[in-house]
Structure 1
């Protein structure tokens, strides 16, 4: 291991320890003498109570807007200045979302009898400002990990928040098994299911559809680049996880919320709400369709066959057996569409497995979301890749 890699690993571990330490620092004004604090998770009333969720939500909203608004999409592709403006817009939206959520949390805490030492406007203002500051501190901390550490900072912070609850879930499962509340067969089924699911995730996330490409010899400045063979690598899952699975519930619940606002609580709205609750067959079906469609929409944005064909032609690249230009774009579009179908089926299955089991009457001893596991798996794979790449890059450096 080189000194540079060891330094980056140390920075990453240190930043994550700071994040975990902040999760146990309570908000100012919280009473510790009432005994109420012991019944609430420390992270829920800490300075990092909102984690990085407001920033991630803002980033997702900006990306969705860029899909339907050409000016924002063009700004994102216009270079460094455009990307900085996109980041600025994301931070402003994150500030608004964090302030709204923080005020709601502070108001809820103040409503608990005896929980706040001195309820009032001062507590609301200070608690809101503290939680908003916590969000932006974590955004800054994640940037330090990405720049000076190893891995993607946002993904690592999100994954640590998920992994930290895993031992408690396992302990809960064993306790329920000891008490006879669940059967050993159910626990065994649950264990085998998630081991198999993790194996499938690793297989799919590392799988690539390679399109052979031939590059002709060409002159670049004073350099003559020789003819070479390469491959255009296409992931099975180009849409990731967060955007399809986070936006899908919006599609289901926002129309219902708007109808409730316009027409009030009517019997047919109550019936519709009952049918689209988590675990209901209608929710599983509609949720699957929504995720499937969103995967295609987002993949079309991140993987543009026409742009890829144009780039290949500019660089003197030719897909084997395909005429450059429109024919190449059509060929890449067919490959991308078939690949996206496989990735969409996989992602729908991953995101809806716990809900699907609940819909058919299989109640697991504790709840683990397929999306949470996928986030952790992808983060670990990315971390492994970055460590390997940095080790190879610095192979000639000083080792420790």
Structure 2
């Protein structure tokens, strides 16, 4: 406890870190206040008893409840996430985007601008669909088409404002702004889900013993998720000695930390984006609705979870292949005079790294799929759907990843100013930069 108070005191003493933390809290407070501002022309009383289940409930969680409240931030940052994924995929397939990725800072600015324009287009489409399908007629107090037009414009402006808040948090605050906004939205749903589960259990469905068992299970699931997020396979690298004047350089052993889950949460996001297709077909084309499409629209069905797990495993290998480049790592290592003991430099080293990545990616992908389907398993075991989302899936991975990343940034500020880190022994492990090439660090959300 004394160590904790000492660390908090050290954080407060560093002016730059203190200002960044206060800025982050201020921007997040603005976001949470805006999430309760209802769209003009909507009667909020008519939306109070509206429940969001399944995939729509998951969207509502990411938006911090704004989706079900018909808030000006109802779409949250999901259109921006979708646009970012599209631009990343274009960077793989289209030479023009590949060229921009290699142009350094200027290319990054161009890609960011394209992402913003694409965000506007996606938000317009999603805002139109949201106004027409998710706000019932009895909740509207404004005539058409004025309601749809105003809602589309305001929802688009709300998403762009949230995106701006995220960028300001990244620049002026601490941590990744977009990730923190999503995390705050998820955490905001935890008290309500916990209260609903407590009331259900105490109402005769298991009692206090069931509540304690669920909390213990949640604790172990969180620990398991942290192990997956933090797990690395270290490959030793030896550097040749260089003597310049009276000084010796190199001759030390370092490590390449290859993450067990190098793809992070991106495979689940990719897979979930595809799993939204059956739901969209069912909503927009009721005549095409069948038993198979209905099953794929229900996140607790075995058909949905089997396909979901398969897509996650496939996307894990795909995303790892495009983010971790063994050939580049081998070339960088060779240029810097480094080699893996017992492995020939050059192509042999690249093949060795690729073989190690393949071996650790398979269990990482399987464990990621297990984490992703845990909420469905919890729901089938009788856990309230609002509380079951915290047993795994994208929500838990985002919470764990964002919290660890933010703590690492705070610890970096402390260590840079010669203070002790957040942990009493050792340093926080996680997104450790690769010493001999890019690609081992997991992507942030």
TM-score, L = length of structure 2: 0.79
What residue is the counterpart of 2:318 in the other structure? Answer: 297
TM-aligned CA deviation for residue 280 of structure 1: 2.3
State whether residues 214 and 319 of structure 1, in contact with CA within 8 Å, keep that contact through their aligned partners in structure 2.
Answer: yes
**Relative to structure 1, is the Cα distance of residues 357 and 104 closer, same or farther in structure 2, using a 3 angstrom cutoff?**
same
**Relative to structure 1, is the Cα distance of residues 247 and 206 closer, same or farther in structure 2, using a 3 angstrom cutoff?**
closer
Q: For 1:1-400, what aligned pairs fall within 5 Å after superposition?
A: 1=11, 2-31=14-43, 35-39=45-49, 44-108=69-133, 111-113=136-138, 115-217=139-241, 225-241=249-265, 243-251=266-274, 254=277, 265=288, 270-276=290-296, 277-358=298-379, 361-365=380-384, 366-369=387-390, 370=392, 371-395=394-418
**Relative to structure 1, is the Cα distance of residues 25 and 295 closer, same or farther in structure 2, using a 3 angstrom cutoff?**
same
**Relative to structure 1, is the Cα distance of residues 164 and 259 closer, same or farther in structure 2, using a 3 angstrom cutoff?**
closer
TM-aligned CA deviation for residue 214 of structure 1: 1.7
- Any unmatched runs of 5+ in structure 1? none
TM-aligned CA deviation for residue 259 of structure 1: 12
State whether residues 334 and 346 of structure 2, in contact with CA within 8 Å, keep that contact through their aligned partners in structure 1.
Answer: yes
TM-aligned CA deviation for residue 84 of structure 1: 1.8
**Relative to structure 1, is the Cα distance of residues 260 and 20 closer, same or farther in structure 2, using a 3 angstrom cutoff?**
closer
Paired residue secondary structure (1:367): helix
Cα-to-partner distance string for 1:259-284 (whole Å, 9 max, x where unaligned): 9999x74xxx8243245342222322
Cα-to-partner distance string for 1:194-242 (whole Å, 9 max, x where unaligned): 110101122222222111112224599xx9844332111111111111x
RMSD: 2.8
**Structure 1 CA distance for aligned equivalents of residues 284 and 124 of structure 2:** 24
Farther-moved stretch of structure 1 (134-143 vs 102-111): 102-111
Cα-to-partner distance string for 1:313-333 (whole Å, 9 max, x where unaligned): 122221122111001001100
Paired residue secondary structure (2:237): strand
What residue is the counterpart of 2:53 in the other structure? Answer: none
State whether residues 275 and 283 of structure 1, in contact with CA within 8 Å, keep that contact through their aligned partners in structure 2.
Answer: yes
Cα-to-partner distance string for 1:91-111 (whole Å, 9 max, x where unaligned): 121111111111222334665
State whether residues 98 and 135 of structure 1, in contact with CA within 8 Å, keep that contact through their aligned partners in structure 2.
Answer: yes
State whether residues 202 and 208 of structure 2, in contact with CA within 8 Å, keep that contact through their aligned partners in structure 1.
Answer: no
**Relative to structure 1, is the Cα distance of residues 339 and 171 closer, same or farther in structure 2, using a 3 angstrom cutoff?**
same
Corresponding pairs, count: 384
Paired residue secondary structure (1:210): strand
TM-aligned CA deviation for residue 131 of structure 1: 1.1
**Relative to structure 1, is the Cα distance of residues 387 and 29 closer, same or farther in structure 2, using a 3 angstrom cutoff?**
same
**Structure 2 CA distance for aligned equivalents of residues 293 and 328 of structure 1:** 25
**Structure 2 CA distance for aligned equivalents of residues 70 and 261 of structure 1:** 35
**Relative to structure 1, is the Cα distance of residues 193 and 163 closer, same or farther in structure 2, using a 3 angstrom cutoff?**
same
Farther-moved stretch of structure 1 (56-65 vs 70-79): 70-79
**Structure 2 CA distance for aligned equivalents of residues 305 and 327 of structure 1:** 10
TM-aligned CA deviation for residue 170 of structure 1: 0.8
Farther-moved stretch of structure 1 (22-31 vs 50-59): 22-31
State whether residues 211 and 319 of structure 1, in contact with CA within 8 Å, keep that contact through their aligned partners in structure 2.
Answer: yes
TM-score, L = length of structure 1: 0.87
State whether residues 238 and 340 of structure 2, in contact with CA within 8 Å, keep that contact through their aligned partners in structure 1.
Answer: yes
**Structure 2 CA distance for aligned equivalents of residues 132 and 219 of structure 1:** 60
Farther-moved stretch of structure 1 (384-393 vs 39-48): 39-48
**Structure 2 CA distance for aligned equivalents of residues 171 and 260 of structure 1:** 31
State whether residues 186 and 364 of structure 1, in contact with CA within 8 Å, keep that contact through their aligned partners in structure 2.
Answer: no
State whether residues 245 and 291 of structure 1, in contact with CA within 8 Å, keep that contact through their aligned partners in structure 2.
Answer: yes
State whether residues 75 and 127 of structure 2, in contact with CA within 8 Å, keep that contact through their aligned partners in structure 1.
Answer: yes
**Structure 2 CA distance for aligned equivalents of residues 36 and 271 of structure 1:** 31
